[in-house]
Structure 1
Amino acid sequence: MRSPRLSGVQMAGWLFADLLLVLVVVVLGGETPANRPTQPGPQDTQTPPGPTLPGPSTSPPTTPPPAGGLDPHTRSITVRVNPEALIGGSERATASLREQVARKSRQFPGERVAFVMVFGNAGRLPGGAVDTGTSTAFAKAVARLLPSAAPEFFPRYHKEIIRGYHNTDPRIPSGTAEIELFFLLH
């Protein structure tokens, strides 16, 4: 009977497949939109000699095309609220969270968030370790309330656009949510 362990050749095949997947993700992540405006070069500023033929306009658009992609420089805001109360649906905890988020989002005038990651830290287990289950539930509760706290700033809630995760750093006080903001490039 053969051993269930993979041979060196099989491991190399899996490693190659994993590396190929990483390469695809990096290439796709580095793509820039095709409609991105470019700086005119000398050849773009001169009119070619001869008659002009009817066809598509070569004049620049009056408004620039929309920017594409996420700004790699994220911003963040931090809020503090009783995690158990927020998870339980407390009106007081919900109002406190909404007030903090509305106030802190004003530091980004004219901006609108495209993607959000919420890192929640809530509850401790015996021995001082962070309770990841409660922390994740706390982060998800915060994530669901963000659009109602600042509707002009946050996109509508969808679990793929506004995501909640736990933060296991024991130095962060329980009831702290760090909200990582990703803006679109301008």
Structure 2
Amino acid sequence: MSREPGRPGGTYLAGWLFADLLLVIVLVVLGSEVPAAAPDPHPSPTATATAAPDPSHSPSPTPSDTARPGGLDPVTVSVGVRLDPDALIAGRPSETAALTRQVNEEIKRYEGRTAAFVMVFGTVRSGGAVDTGRSDAYATAVARQLPQAAPRFFPPYSEKIIRGYHDSGQAIPSGTARIELFFLLS
């Protein structure tokens, strides 16, 4: 593509810029449209028989109209435990028992609720620095033990629901596991 002498190069790009901008606006408008409510498959006989709605009669809300939307509660709860990471990774019964004891003590105040999603952040230090590999292994070991520690509180173990990560915060002592709890909206 050659340019004519005396003609600025930006004019060739102006058309493309306008087309791209128009495309972005169309995508934003289409993406922000709210889908129409599905029609009632079983309309009431009075609704189809009456031509105009009666203003003196307002329909009472149905339970589905007043129910809160489902999903995870955006407010999370964080509990912590301190253990010997290497002993828990090795599966020592004494460390598993200590985890069970600490977890049950921490979740007492949430009795009657069930965790829907759990993230475990483990910290293991080696020579003062965080060892991310051992921290991940420690967090995963804690995550695997949580359903056995409190089966009524934690969902069954699955990497999609209970997952371990390392935590590289500088002020976090080695052997700390922070358990981030997400509950369902009720």
TM-score by structure 2 length?
A: 0.65
For residue 60 of structure 1, report the CA deviation from its aligned partner. 2.1
- Structure number with the higher helix fraction is 2
Q: What are the Cα deviations for residues 59-103 of structure 1, in whole angstroms up to 9, with x where unaligned?
A: 724996574111111101000110000000100000000111111
Aligned equivalents of 2:124 and 2:61: distance in 1?
A: 57
Deviations 1:109-156 (A, max 9, x none): 2111110000000131x4x21000000000000000011111111111
- Of 82, 90, 102 in structure 2, the residue corresponding to residue 88 of structure 1 is 90
Quick check: 161-170 or 58-67, which moved more?
A: 58-67
| Structure 2: runs of 5+ lacking an equivalent | 1-19, 38-52, 55-59
Conserved 8 A contact 1:67-1:184 = no
SS in 2 for 1:177: strand
Work out which of the two has the higher radius of gyration on C-alpha atoms and give 1 or 2.
Answer: 2
Q: What is the distance in 1 between the residues matched to 2:151 and 2:138? A: 20
Query: Which of residues 110, 113, 116 is equivalent to 1:114?
Result: 116
- Show the counterpart of 2:166: 166
Match of 1:104 among 106, 117, 124: 106
- 1:36-185 → structure 2 map (5 Å cutoff): 48-49=53-54, 60-61=62-63, 65=67, 67-124=69-126, 126=127, 128-185=128-185
C-alpha RMSD of the superposition: 3.2
Inter-partner Cα distance in structure 1 for 2:69 and 2:110: 18
CA spacing shift, 1:89–1:69, aligned 2, 3 Å: same
Report the Cα distance in structure 2 between the residues aligned to 1:59 and 1:107, rounded to whole angstroms: 34
Distance 1:66 1:171 in 2: 39
CA distance in 1, matches of 2:66, 2:115: 20
Instruction: Give, as a single letter, the amino acid of the residue that structure 1 aligns with 2:182.
Output: F
Query: Aligned letter for 2:138?
Result: F
Moved over 4 A (4+): 62-67
Q: TM-score when scaled to structure 1?
A: 0.65
What are the within-5 Å matches in structure 2 for residues 7-22 of structure 1?
Answer: none
Supply the distance in 2 between the matched residues of 1:153 and 1:64 (Cα, whole angstroms): 27
1:168 & 1:81 partners in 2: Cα distance? 17
Gaps of 5+ in 1: 1-15, 35-47, 50-57
Q: Count the aligned residue pairs.
A: 140
Q: Could you tell me how far apart the structure 1 residues matched to 2:134 and 2:64 are?
A: 52
Q: Would the alpha carbon gap of residues 106 and 60 (structure 1) be closer, same or farther in structure 2, given more than 3 Å must change?
A: same
How far apart in 2 are the matches of 1:73 and 1:61? 25
